Amino acid sequence: MTDPLFYCEHLAEPGALLSLSGDEAHHAVAARRRHPGDTLWLFDGRGGGARATVLRVTGRGRTLDLRIEERYAEPPLKQVIHLASALPKGDRQTVMLDMATQLGMAEFTPLECERGVVKPGKINTDRWRRICIEACKQSRRLHLPLIHPPATTQEVITDATARGDAVWIAHPSDQSISLAAAVQPGKAGIITILLGPEGGFTDKEITLAIRGGARLLSLGAAILRIETAAVALVGAFAMASWSHAPVKTGYKL
């Protein structure tokens, strides 16, 4: 059985003491039955991990006093995946963020589209961050995805091209490149993938995207739900990186 992983934003060096509190401490005590003397594995969301020993449980299980025994780091993947997507309805947002994070999404931007049914508006960043933290814990990823503010298609493409990203926009067309052809194993850099609402991007949005340097990408003949398409896209590009990534070490598998 895999040892559980817990989120701690600020890790200390070996030998130092720190406290874990709130939901993570409660989860460690109530759900995972951790007691003084037990080992706890921590990550900071920025590639850092640590092995710690539980010294004390206080605050009715809401605080753990820990001693850091070992520090280690996980380098980021050479291929960084930025998903800019229209939002699906309700709980399907959770499914999309959870699965995309498990697969290796490094950045997420809620996309404002002309045909979008769900308007990003005031997004619940704290809730989304919690979803991503839980997905990192599940998948043993030490890098927490960066969540950007809502942006239009043109804004995302402008920013992405300015920093040198490879930019893809999912759209069925005779000029679209298949997903299999677009994925390049071992290629380094940042990939920005734009995914529209289930009604698709408008002709205006596609024209502006092409002018901005985006390339058209096809997912085939099927009409997919937003979260299904997101998982397919992130998974395809991520798996190309996995085949060239080092095996994780540093904590018990």
Asked whether 75 and 48 are in contact (CB, 8 A), the reply is no
pLDDT reading at 186 higher than 50: yes
Domains and CATH numbers, the chain: 5-73 (2.40.240.20), 79-242 (3.40.1280.10)
**What would the pLDDT profile of 37-54 be if each residue is shown by its tens digit?**
999 999 999 999 999 999
pLDDT reading at 190 higher than 80: yes
pLDDT above 70 covers a percentage of the chain that reads 93
Say which residue, 30 or 76, is predicted with more confidence.
30
Q: What is the pLDDT of residue 39?
A: 95
- Please state the rounded mean pLDDT for residues 60-65: 88
- Please state the rounded mean pLDDT for residues 184-203: 90
- Phi and psi angles of residue 67, each rounded to the nearest 5 degrees, phi first: -120, 125
- Please state the rounded mean pLDDT for residues 193-204: 95
> If we measure between CA atoms, which residue out of 32, 31, 30, 29 comes closest to residue 64?
29
Q: What is the pLDDT of residue 213?
A: 95
**What would the pLDDT profile of 140-166 be if each residue is shown by its tens digit?**
999 999 999 999 999 999 999 999 999
Please list, in sequence order, all residues whose beta carbon lies within 8 angstroms of the beta carbon of residue 118, skipping any fewer than 6 positions away.
86, 87, 88, 89, 93, 197
pLDDT reading at 91 higher than 90: yes
| 111, β-bridge pairs | 151
Q: What is the pLDDT of residue 125?
A: 83
pLDDT band at 240 (very low <50, low <70, confident <90, very high): confident
Edge-to-edge strands, sheet with 48-58 = 5-7, 39-43, 48-58, 63-73, 17-21
pLDDT band at 5 (very low <50, low <70, confident <90, very high): very high
Q: What is the pLDDT of residue 229?
A: 96
Mean pLDDT for all residues in the chain:
90
Which alpha helices (H) appear in 140-249, and where do they start and end? 153-162, 179-182, 203-211, 226-242
Q: What is the pLDDT of residue 122?
A: 67
